[in-house]
Structure 1
Amino acid sequence: MVQALLLGLATLTVSPALPQVPGPQTATAGLPNLGDGSDMTPAAERRIGDRIARELYRDPDYLDDPVITDYVQGIWQPLIAAARQRGELPAQLDEAFAWEILMGRDRTVNAFALPGGYFGLHLGLVGIVTSRDELASVLAHEISHVTQRHISRSMARQAAQAPWLMGAMVLGMLAASKNPGAAQAAIVGGQAAAVQSQLNYSRDMEREADRIGFGVQTQAGFAPQGFVSMFEKLQQSSRLNDSGGFPYLRSHPLNTERIADMQSRVRQSERASTAPVTTLEHAMVAARARVFSDSSVDALRVWETQAQGSNLAKLPAVVQVGTLYGASFAALKQRDFPLAQATLARLQERVGTNAPALRLARLLALDMALAQGDVPKAQRLSQSLSDGSRATLLMRSHIDTLAGQGESAAQTLQTWLADHPHDAQAWQALAAANAAIARPVAAVRAEAEVNVAQLDYQGALTRFKAAQDMARKSSLPTDHIDASIVDTRARQMESLLREQALER
């Protein structure tokens, strides 16, 4: 389980606990924050987060799909901006933490916060939410776990409980010679008291994350009702609440309790009349997430069955569009190009002039053209895309490289990377573009930067050294210019590796 591996870090289903960075009070909050600070510095927490994120980047389920990422970032960035405006995100944390979302193909309905401003988002959750507002409520909740320092506070709480646990064990050992039963009771009783204290603290933190997350979400312009409907989905998904379990042994408050609290806040909100809306774009992104999270042959064929069903035309437009997009993408995954193309044509008819949905349909058409090796068609299709999104940029750069226009692709990617130096996929695209225009040292350097972006400094150093060896043997002037950059980056990697060794 993710949360056990991550030392009880904040998740939607099991979460952390402890003292915090004080945040501002709002008129609608009405509750104090839980603590006055954390013993762990932001830099120390970031180092812990880096180590965990490094492993997540290596996980086979890690996914950086530009289409889904663009959509999630369109929700994420307004939430971060709102947290800044409300004073929930101090400048120190803003600068020290990563604020990165790592997506995974896992079908479970979950999201979680990691130390240092890293966040995990399962595609199962993206696939089940029915609006941007519901997804915003989850992300706002997780942002609040980090801005309120719940993770470091929880770790401090656990450390503070260690003497109590040790005392219980010592008392148990002293009693063992006289009464083994009493010894066992002393040990178990001490452990139970510590666990109960931790769970109670975690429930308080969940309530605080709900309260602050609600304010962040509404400040960012999302419908507050999204919090309520999201909790209802979690309740349906987990099937745990009100089923005979003991609520006081849960680290989170009951969903029914949280739903009631959010309903009360919605009624008091100035935007109470705003209801979540399922857009065509959201339906398409959710379908894409479901295909990625379950790409088994049987699951992919289910999409075809649903798209061919006679009842499809009777369903709401958003359901039709989502189903057709999922079916077309599933057919593409199976390399059934005629079926994928035919389903895409039906999708485009229903999308009409809806700009966000039309963009996603065109990106899917580009995917199909490239999968079939039809670069000229891909070039023609790409001319209709000029939205400046990351997905469009990466797609057009790939097309330019395949079409023999690597120089143009390299320039575009270098401009992007100047503002987004941690974009591993863009670095990989730049490596391909540089290789296509006979700049081997720059290509290997870009491959090394992929490792840097994913926090694999040892792998990066290996590639930088390979680039150094290549530059020494080269007679090209451009390679010697690139070599000076490589030398500097190699020294930086050596310094980072020494720091990691000291931490260990």
Structure 2
Amino acid sequence: MASSLAFTPLPTRGGWRRALAGACAALLLSGSLPPPARAQNNLPALGDSVSEDFGVGTERRLGDQIMREIRRDPDYADDPLLQDYLESLWQPLVAAARSRGEIDGDTTGRFAWEVFLVRDRSVNAFALPGGFVGVHLGLIAMTASSDELASVLAHELSHVTQRHIARSITNSRRQSLLSAAAMILGVIAAGRSGSADAANAVIAGGQAAAIQGQLNFSRDMEREADRIGFGLLTGAGFSPAGMAAMFEKLDQASRLNDSGSYPYLRSHPLTTERIGEARSRLGAAPKAAPAGRLEHTLAQARARVLMDTRVAALRRWQSLDEGGVLRAPVPGQEAEALAASASSALASTLLKDWDRADASLARATGLLRAALRRPGPVPAADLRAERALAQLQAQSQLERGNVAAAAAALAAAPAPAGGAPERAVMLLQARISSAQVAAGADGSALRRQAEALQTWVANHPTDAVVWTALGQVWARLEQPLRAVRAEAEGRYAMGDLTGAVDRLRAGQRLARGGGPQLDFIEASVIDARLREIEAERRREFAEREGRGG
């Protein structure tokens, strides 16, 4: 039931993709949905039959069920640095949707409004029920600017705000009634004429009508997502040319494996048609300041390395520094040179080839500083690129155990605008402070990091990576109950209810042992969370049993 921007359907590789289809089917077959409303030919109005057939609460529960499977899959890519960059594009779009009224009172607090990464080379993005949007690393790797990537996010966000998945499910159920009616007519025709061919012709015609109706419905929703997404893109301050440029890229890519024939069999309108519509909207769109390319260039470089971390693939990216460390880039190709250096630095870090990592990092730093010294105002995104490169340097130093150099790299980076917390920086600082405590430093800095991480998970309770990091920090600070509880919450956020229960029971055993480190408040929280999660496990088991296993 996912809605996807790319021409091709979601790949079938990976357990969560199979689980996605299974979860949707299970919910439809379980009787959780009310019976369908009377059939109608037009798109249902929001709030009418959609709410009756597939309510906001039902859609969010389905989305949570799917995301539980996704977060446990190896293809779920939670890279903090890339995630921060993606959030920097996503949050302005969500804010624009709220200000334009696209996010209404029913969904504003009940949908997740969450964007996540998928380790997949294909150029794709997709929306899921309940306000979740997935982005393939391959999409980030092929986009040339933040505006292009933001246009895809705006398109997928519009699928969510317009509740296209709920409308698709409603329409699919009506189309299934049409198919069933065709089969009944076929049986009647066969009984009257005695001809099996006549019956088959009626059945095939009915099925074709149902399929075509679903395709037409899907194409209408894609056009609607393009139109509303364009408004979100410009409302969030991105360049309106980003959407047309993205469609042109898709059109060029599709020519390699798509003849362009039979457009009426697509669920998406022809890309040439979408390009024309996007360009026709440019004249009335507000102008946007140039976004800058440097931050996106570093994200692009990181995404293409993390798409495939096998040794052979990393060697290919590492080879980009061969013979080019000291050579000046060709004028006009500075961004490409920066991407090559950053890709090589990350690949060398993952391969633990420290000399080559340092050489590539030095070249990337020189290229970035030269770009920032160019005449004219520097876009804010380009200034953020300096922080992204500092985080790559800190990561490389931490991987080799050089804690002091990692701390120096982060300290030298410019402070973020507005002082907003950055998840990637928090996680790096927690690792640095933890290593410093292990080496004999006092725990004051690490306690500050624990407080920052605790505040973060209070606002982002499904962030398994931060919960896990928090557990490690509490363990280093000799707070075993808090450490066990954070580990349990991390397991729960990953959808591992059994693992969460096991850790919470371990916490109960620790609490029963007493001792000077016993935290009675934390012990009470562990007892309460154990009861909640065990009750949730029982409900899930009962639902599976009710569906016949």
Q: TM-score, normalised by structure 2?
A: 0.83
Tell me the CA shift for residue 241 of structure 1: 9.1
> Which residue of structure 2 lines up, in the alignment, with residue 253 of structure 1?
269
Residue of structure 1 equivalent to 2:344? 327
Matches within 5 A, 1:255-404: 255-271=271-287, 274=288, 277-308=291-322, 313-314=329-330, 316-352=333-369, 353=372, 355-385=383-413, 386-387=415-416, 388-404=421-437
Q: 1:307 to 1:240 in 2, by over 3 A?
A: closer
**What's the Cα RMSD here?**
2.4
1:148 is aligned to 162
Segment drifting more, 346-355 vs 215-224: 346-355
- Structure 1 residue 392, shift from structure 2 partner: 0.7
Rounded to whole Å, the distance in 2 between the matches of 1:159 and 1:438 is 56
CA contact (8 A) 1:366 1:381 kept: yes
Q: Are the equivalent residues in 1 in contact too, given 2:119–2:137 (CA < 8 A)?
A: yes
Tell me the residue number matched to 1:187: 203
Q: Is the 8 A contact 1:225 1:275 kept in 2?
A: no
> After alignment, is 473-482 or 206-215 more displaced?
473-482
- AA partner of residue 118 (structure 1): F
Deviations 1:55-110 (A, max 9, x none): 11111111111110111100100000000000000022011111111211100000
Q: Is 1:454 aligned to residue 448 of structure 2?
A: no
Q: For residues 501 and 43 of structure 1, do their structure 2 counterparts lie closer, same or farther at Cα, with a shift above 3 Å needed? A: farther
Q: CA deviation at 1:399?
A: 0.9
Matching residue of 1:19 = 44
Specify whether residues 36 and 454 from structure 1 end up closer, same or farther in structure 2 by C-alpha distance, changes over 3 A only: closer
* Cα deviation digits, residues 214-237 of structure 1 (max 9, x gap): 001100000000000001111122
Aligned to 1:31: none
Q: 1:163 — aligned with what?
A: 177
Q: Which residue of 2 aligns with 1:198?
A: 214
Give 1:13 deviation, angstroms: 3.0
Distance 2:98 2:405 in 1: 44
Farther-moved stretch of structure 1 (147-156 vs 422-431): 422-431
Q: Report if aligned partners of 1:67, 1:391 keep a CA contact under 8 Å in 2.
A: yes
Range 193-202 or range 406-415, more displaced = 406-415
State whether structure 2 residue 271 is matched by structure 1 residue 238: no
Seen in structure 2, the aligned counterparts of structure 1 residues 308 and 477 have a Cα distance that, compared at 3 Å, is closer
The higher relative CO (CA closer than 8 Å, separation ≥ 6) is in 1
Q: Please, which of 61, 73, 80 is the counterpart of residue 87 of structure 2?
A: 73
Q: Does structure 2 conserve the Cα–Cα contact (< 8 Å) formed by 1:18 and 1:154?
A: no
Separation (CA, whole Å) in 2 of partners of 1:54 and 1:197 = 32
- Aligned-partner SS, 2:121: coil
Gaps of 5+ in 1: 1-6, 23-33
Check whether the contact 2:126–2:133 (CA below 8 A) recurs between aligned residues: yes
Aligned: 1:63 with 2:63: no
- Mapping of residues 110-129 of structure 1, within 5 Å: 110-129=124-143
In structure 1, distance between residues paired with 2:360 and 2:523: 49
Q: 1:107 aligns with which of 97, 109, 121?
A: 121
Distance 1:99 1:14, change over 3 A: farther
Assess if the C-alpha contact under 8 Å between 1:62 and 1:104 holds in 2. yes
Most deviating of 454-463 and 208-217: 454-463
Question: How big is the shift at 1:120?
Answer: 1.0
**1:313 aligns to what SS in structure 2?**
coil
CA–CA distance in structure 1, aligned partners of residues 492 and 58 of structure 2:
19
Instruction: Tell me: CA distance 1:336–1:477, structure 2 relative to 1, closer, same or farther (3 Å).
Output: closer
Q: Distance in 1 between matches of 2:161 and 2:52?
A: 11
Q: Please say if residues 5 and 152 of structure 2, whose CA atoms lie closer than 8 Å, have aligned partners that are also in contact.
A: no
Q: Does the CA-based 8 Å contact 1:431-1:444 persist in structure 2? A: yes
Query: Does the 8 A contact of 1:20 with 1:38 survive in 2?
Result: no
What's the CA shift for 1:243? 2.0
1:431 aligned to 2:471?
A: yes
Aligned partner of residue 120 in structure 1, secondary structure: strand
SS in structure 1 of the partner of residue 269 of structure 2:
coil
| Structure-1 separation of matches of 2:178 and 2:134 | 33
Q: Secondary structure at the match of 1:121?
A: strand
The DSSP-based 3-state class of the residue aligned with 2:117 is strand
Question: Could you tell me how far apart the structure 2 residues matched to 1:35 and 1:208 are?
Answer: 19
1:487 to 516, 527, 531: 527
Contact 1:15 1:251 in 2 (8 A): no
Partners of 2:121 and 2:136 within 8 A in 1: yes
Name the CA distance, whole Å, in 1 between partners of 2:519 and 2:171.
Answer: 54
Change (3 A) 1:36 1:381: closer
Shift in Å at residue 364 of structure 1?
1.2
Native 8 Å contact 2:75 2:119 kept in 1: yes
Q: Deviations over 1:428-477 (max 9, x none)?
A: 11100111122222111001111232343343223212211221123234
1:500 shift after superposition? 3.3
Answer yes or no: is the 8 Å Cα contact 2:497–2:537 preserved in 1. Answer: yes
Structure 2 unaligned residues grouped into runs of 5+: 11-41, 373-381, 438-442, 545-549
Structure 1 partner of 2:375: none
In the alignment, which residue of structure 1 is the partner of 2:19?
A: none
CA pair 190-106 structure 1, distance change in 2 beyond 3 A: same
Partner of 2:97: 83
TM-score normalized by the length of structure 1: 0.90
Distance in 1 of aligned mates of 2:277 and 2:402: 55
Q: In the TM superposition, what is the alpha-carbon distance from 1:121 to its structure 2 partner?
A: 0.7
1: CA distance between counterparts of 2:50 and 2:359? Answer: 60
